[in-house]
C-alpha cells in the first residue's frame, strides 16, 4: 500500500492543509483537504472516503469534492459511524450552504453515497477491508484499520485523546498514523478537547509495544500549526527515548507499506 499525507494539520493556510490521507490514490481518510490538496484527476480516482468524525476540519471539502464529482458523473461512497453520517447529512448536506451531493446529478446515482458503518464490524470499501475502531474524542469518533489484498494493514486514528490504547489489542498494523495535536505545555487544552501531546503519544506507543510485542512504523499527524515547532522538537525527543524512527507528517509525505 502507498500512503500519502495530503493534509497534516488542524489549521488551514496556504502552507498547511487540513486532515486528509490517501491510500493508493483510491481511498481517502478524512476530507479536510480532499479538494484543496488534490488535482481534479486525483479526485476522479477516489473510490471511497472514510470519515473519522464530524468536526469541520475533517469534512470541509466534502461539498466541493461532491460538486466536482457530480459534474463528471462520479459516484463515491462516503462512510462513517452513525453519529458522523447523521451530522454530515443534517448539518452539512442540507442544501443550505451548497448543493447537496447526495441528490446530484440525480438521486439514483448521486455524487456521494452516504454509508453507515458499525463499530468493530469489518466491511469492504474501495476494495479494502476496513474496520472502524471507536476512539476517545470530544464527539463520537472512530479510527480505521485498513487492510489491503497483500495482508498489510495500517491504522489511522483520526482525532483521539488519552484512552486510544484500548484499540491496541485489536490491531496489528505495519503503519500507525496517530494524532498529536498539542505540545506538552498545552496538556490541559489537549485533555479538554480529546487530543494527544508528545508525552501521551509516546506513552501510547509504549503500551502498543507492551500489548503487541513490537513498535509499528509511527507517524504523527493532525499537528497544531501554531504549536508545530515545539511539537516537532518534543516528538523527536519522544522518538529518541523510545529508540524508534518516529516521523512527523508533512504535506506530501509518502510511505510504502
- Tens digit of each residue's pLDDT (9 = 90 or more) over 107-135: 899 999 999 999 999 999 999 999 999 99
Q: Is beta strand 76-81 parallel, antiparallel or unpaired with respect to 112-117?
A: parallel
> Cα(88)–Cα(203) distance, rounded to whole angstroms?
33
Give the pTM. 0.97
- CATH code 3.40.1130.10 for 2-256: no
Distances in whole angstroms, Cα of residue 92 to Cα of each of 23, 27, 29, 82, 166:
25, 21, 18, 15, 31
8 A C-beta contact, residue 255 and residue 1: no
Cell (9 digits) for 37 = 490538496
The three state secondary structure string of the chain is CEEEEEECECCCECCECECEEEECCCEEECCCCCCCCCCHHHHHCCCEEECCCCCHHHHCCHHHHHHHHHHCCCCEEEEEEHHHHHHHHHHHCCCCCCCCCCCCEECCEECEEEEEECCCCCEEECCEEEEEEEECCCCCEEEEEEECCCCCEEEECCCCCCCHHHHHHHCCCCEEEEECCCCHHHHHHHHHHCCCCHHHHHHHHHHHHHHHCCCCEEEEECECCCCHHHHHHHHHHHHHHHCCCCEECCCCCEEEC
pLDDT tens readout for residues 30-45: 999 999 999 999 999 9
Calculate the dihedral angle through the C-alpha atoms of 200, 170, 216, 78, rounding to the nearest 10 degrees. -90
Q: What angle do CA 28, 143, 2 make, to 5 degrees?
A: 40
Is the preceding peptide bond at 105 cis, omega within 30 degrees of 0?
yes
Q: Which residue in 47, 63, 52, 69 sits closest to 10, CA to CA?
A: 52
Bridge partners, residue 115, by sequence = 79
Euclidean distance between the first and the last CA atom of the chain, given in angstroms as a whole number: 5
pLDDT of res. 149: 83
Domain range list for the chain: 2-256
Low-confidence ranges of the chain (pLDDT < 70): none
pLDDT of residue 151: 86
Amino acid at each position: 500500500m502507498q500512503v500519502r499525507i495530503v493534509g497534516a494539520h488542524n489549521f488551514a493556510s496556504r502552507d498547511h492543509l487540513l486532515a486528509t490521507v490517501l491510500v493508493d490514490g483510491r481511498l481517502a481518510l478524512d476530507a479536510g483537504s480532499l479538494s484543496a490538496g488534490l488535482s481534479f484527476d486525483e479526485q476522479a480516482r477516489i473510490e471511497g472516503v472514510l470519515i473519522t468524525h464530524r468536526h469541520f476540519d475533517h469534512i470541509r471539502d466534502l461539498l466541493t469534492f461532491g460538486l466536482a464529482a457530480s459534474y463528471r458523473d462520479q459516484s463515491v461512497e462516503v462512510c462513517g459511524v452513525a453519529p458522523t453520517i447523521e451530522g454530515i447529512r443534517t448539518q452539512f448536506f442540507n442544501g443550505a450552504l451548497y448543493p447537496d451531493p447526495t441528490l446530484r446529478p440525480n438521486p439514483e446515482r448521486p455524487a456521494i453515497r452516504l454509508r453507515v458503518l458499525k463499530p468493530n464490524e469489518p466491511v469492504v470499501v474501495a476494495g479494502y477491508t476496513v474496520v472502524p475502531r471507536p476512539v476517545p474524542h470530544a464527539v463520537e469518533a472512530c479510527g480505521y484499520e485498513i487492510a489491503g489484498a497483500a495482508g498489510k494493514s495500517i491504522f489511522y486514528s483520526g482525532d483521539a485523546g488519552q484512552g486510544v490504547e484500548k484499540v491496541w489489542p485489536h490491531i496489528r498494523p505495519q503503519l500507525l498514523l496517530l494524532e498529536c495535536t498539542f505540545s506538552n505545555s498545552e496538556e490541559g487544552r489537549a485533555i479538554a478537547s480529546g487530543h494527544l501531546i508528545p508525552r501521551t503519544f509516546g506513552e501510547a506507543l509504549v503500551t502498543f509495544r507492551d500489548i503487541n510485542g513490537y513498535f509499528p512504523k509511527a507517524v504523527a499527524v493532525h499537528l497544531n500549526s501554531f504549536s508545530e515547532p515545539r511539537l516537532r522538537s518534543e516528538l523527536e525527543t519522544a522518538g529518541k527515548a523510545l529508540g524508534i524512527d518516529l516521523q512527523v507528517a508533512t504535506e506530501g509525505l509518502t510511505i510504502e507499506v
